[in-house]
Every structure is written in C-alpha cells, then in structure tokens.
Amino acid sequence: MSRHDQRKTNQLRPFRIERNVPGAAPGRVQVSAGRTTVLCTASVEENVPPWLAGKGKGWVTAEYNMLPGSTSPRKRRDRSGKIDGRSSEIQRLIGRSLRAVVDLTALGERMITVDCDVLEADGGTRTASITGGFIALVEAIRSIEALDQQGPSPLAGTVAAVSVGIVDGEPMLDVDYSEDVRAAVDMNVVMTGQGQFVEVQGSGEEATFSGEELAALVALAQQGIADLSGQQREVLGDAWPMPKLA
C-alpha cells in the first residue's frame, strides 16, 4: 500500500537527532520524526522528593508540554500549574519508560527531570519524547562527577519507543497525524535495547483487532525500535552507556 509520503508500511519517518542544542541543562537534544520535533532537556538536582528522602535512592521524572505554535490552531498554554489530562498521562509514560532502565539506588539521592517540549506535532510526540529523552538522560547522568568516582553507571539499559497502527486495513509503522486520525487501531510500544517490553498501549478506535493483527503490529514496533536504538547508539558514540548490548 502506498503512503502519502511514499514510505513503505514498515518504514520509519526520517529520524534526526541533534545533541548539545543551546540551553543550560546538562542533557540537551532535539529530535525529529518527520515533521514532529521535540526538544528534550535533562536537569539534575542534588535532592529527591520528600517521600524518598533518606532512603538512599534517586528519582527520574518527566514533564511534557506542547508549545502553542506546535499545532494549528494554536494550543493554549497551561495556566496556574494545571496541565491537561493528555499531557499528564504522557509525562507519566515518559517517566515510567526512563525509570525502567535506571538503577535508582546507584543514582544516589538526586533527581533527574527530563523536560520534553513539543515544537511541532505531526503524530508520535510521546514516542519521540521517550527516544530523545533517553539521550538527554544519558548526557545528564554523565555530567554527575560523583558517579564517576562511585562505580558503575546507574543506567541499566537503553530505551526507545515508536507508534504503530492499522490504517485502511494495513498495519503501519510510525504513523503520522494524517494516518493516525484514520487508524482503526492505534498503539504505542516502548522497549529496551535488549528487546524487553516496557509498555504497550493499544486500542481500537471504534473497531476491534485480531491476535494476528496484534502480532503484526508488535513485530513492526520491534523492527522500528531496533532501528531507533541503533541510531541512538550511533549518535551517542563513546557516550553509549551499554557496550555489551547489541
């Protein structure tokens, strides 16, 4: 089946990663999946939330925001510290995904916050945020000098994510907005570089799907995430935290 951008059904959009973009945070990366563009920054604080104080563990959390100019029509800014339900759900997903590959005890009593700000939205913003947020997280952890003296890195793995869907009856990898709005089934898959699942979010949009279709979507996601993990490794180079992983 031909897609509007001439991609094959099992083909990712062009994924671009730019490290060390302007900013004050130790971890800074801008990622783009097609037109979807997300700025991911990671900041380190030498303390933890009150409920973790004194327990000898750190914390990794995330915040997600779509900037007003990221969509048309303009998205209104969140006011008075309130965020909409969608943004709240997405930032919890990003936080869970990143914590899945961090040894919080090895991190020590410090907190890393990964901020994901969407500059342009064309589908897959949450998955791009996870894939880019991991790179920013690596940079932030590398900036903590005390960790170099204490032993191994608190990173226990790598993580990336991608969206898949059934559009016009066909399983497709990395759906953009124009495909997502037509999708009978929409799914987001988060996996480690070792091939372990972190989270699978899937639902039928006024439709059902079979076990065979589910298996086809998961297979597409596995292929896409393996590709994204390879790109993460290439961009990080010597900073890649898991030399024993493929």
Domains identified in the chain and CATH numbers: 15-76+85-239 (3.30.230.70)
When pLDDT is averaged across residues 116-135 and rounded to a whole number, the result is 97
- Closest C-alpha among 143, 166, 228, 172 to residue 5: 172
Q: Could you tell me which residue, 187 or 145, shows the higher pLDDT?
A: 187
Cis peptide before 73 (omega within 30 of 0): yes
Q: What is the pLDDT of residues 191-242, one digit of tens each?
A: 999 999 999 999 998 889 999 999 999 999 999 999 999 999 999 998 887 6
Instruction: Write down the pLDDT at residue 240.
Output: 83
Q: Which two tokens stand for residue 155?
A: 């990173």
Mean pLDDT of 122-141: 97
Q: What is the pTM of this model?
A: 0.94
245 pLDDT band, cuts 50/70/90, is: very low
Angle between helices 211-236 and 125-142 (to 10 degrees): 30
10-61: per-residue pLDDT in tens? 999 999 999 989 999 999 999 999 999 999 999 999 999 999 999 999 999 9
